[in-house]
Amino acid sequence: MKEPIDHDFSQHGQSEYIDNLLEGKNNGFFIECGAHDGKLFSNSLYFERYRNWTGLLVEPNKRTFQELLNLKRKAYAANVLLCPDNQSRKFTYVDAKVLSGIKELVQLRSDKIAKRKSYLVQCFTLYTLLLAVGVTRIDFFSLDVEGAEVPILKTIPFDKVYIKSLTVEYRFFDSHSEDKEKSQKNLKMIRDFFEKLGFYKEVKLDSLDVIFERID
C-alpha cells in the first residue's frame, strides 16, 4: 500500500508542526535521538523524504538499528548511546520496540512490561557526535531517550551549537500505563532547563512531547 504524499510518520503530528514552524524549510539538518527503526513514529523521516533534509540518527538498540540501516536513510546513523560523558554504559533493552535506555536512567520499573536484557554500549555526548560529522547548526532536534532527556540536554554547549527547534519527550511510563505525577515532574525539569537558558520559548505541548523554539 502506497503512503500518501507528504505523509507524517510522527506519533502526534510533531513533524507537521515543526514543518510549519520552520515555514517548510528545505535542505535542513535534523538530529533524532531515539530513532528506533528509522520509520515507526519517526519525527525526522518526513523532512528527509519531502524537504530534502539530511541529519543524524542515534539508536543504541542493536536490533532496531539494523532495521534502520535497512531503510537506507539519507542521514548519518550511529549505534551508540547519548550520555553525559564518553564512557561505555549498560544499555537496558526492553522487548517492546520503543522502550529502552541507559540502565541508570531508564524510567521503567515494573518487570511486567517485558523481558529486559542489558549489554555494554559505547556512549558519546551529542557534541562529540556533531564534531565527528562536522555540523553545529541544527534545524530540528528530536529527543526521546526514556528519562535521560535533561542529563543529555545539560551536556550541550549551546554557545557552540545552534539548535533552532526541539521536541523533547516528557511522559513517564511504569508498566503499561503513564505515571502522571512523574510525567509532570519530568515536564517541569525540562521547562526549568530551557527557562534557565533564556533564549528558547515553549511553543507547543502535546500529550507526549514539549516543543521549543530558539528566539535569539
51 or 148, greater pLDDT: 51
Residue 102 lies in a domain: yes
Residue 89 lies in a domain: yes
Q: What is the mean pLDDT of residues 4-20?
A: 86
Residue 95 lies in a domain: yes
pLDDT in tens, 133-190: 999 999 999 999 877 899 999 999 999 999 999 999 998 776 567 788 889 999 999 9
Residue 65 lies in a domain: yes
99 or 74, greater pLDDT: 74
Q: Is 38 left (phi over 0), alpha (psi -120 to 50) or beta?
A: left
Q: CA of 69: how far to CAs of 1, 53, 54, 63, 203, in Å?
A: 22, 17, 15, 10, 33
We report the CATH number of the domain holding residue 207 as: 3.40.50.150
- One-letter amino acid identity for 15? S
Min mean pLDDT across 19-23, 24-28, 114-118 is at 114-118
Residue 5 lies in a domain: no
Min mean pLDDT across 110-114, 122-126, 206-210 is at 110-114
Range of the domain at 92: 14-214
Please tell me the predicted confidence (pLDDT) of residue 116. Answer: 66
> What's the predicted TM-score (pTM) here?
0.86
Total structural domains within the chain: 1
